[in-house]
Amino acid sequence: MSDLFEELTADRDALAAAKQVAVRANENYYDLGCLLYHIKNDDLYKTVDGNKYYSNDHKKWKQFCEEQLSDISYRTAHYLLNIYRYFSDMGISKERVSQIGLSKAKEFVDCTDD
């Protein structure tokens, strides 16, 4: 366990490292939301690795998420793509959403027009 800590703090103190990792984490959540949004919205998931997820109204989206995105839950995937959809539709930048953070951004989705 200390090997990772040593690696993360090799060229900076622990607080600076934590701040940098936190920024990257929030940016990665937004990027993943963008990818998931387009995979779903553009029907890119309907045939993947020989599996067919064809259905009307995205009824097989949950099955796709559970089978293909095992590192995140269907619920998390849904939150992330909704965060991306909501804030990008409002013209709010990735950087601004990253400053808000994932938990707060999730709570703001569909709560306001501005």
How many whole angstroms separate alpha carbon 96 and alpha carbon 5?
A: 29
Burial code (b: 16+ CB inside 10 Å, e: under 16) for 50-86 equals eeebeeeeeebbeebbeeebeeeeeebbbbbbbbbbb
Report the distance separating Cα 82 and Cα 73, nearest Å. 14
| Mean pLDDT, the chain cut into blocks of 10 residues (114 residues total) | 85 92 88 94 82 78 89 92 94 90 89 68
- Burial environment of residue 30 by CB neighbours within 10 A (0 to 12, 13 to 18, 19 or more): buried
Give the model's pLDDT for residue 1.
Answer: 52
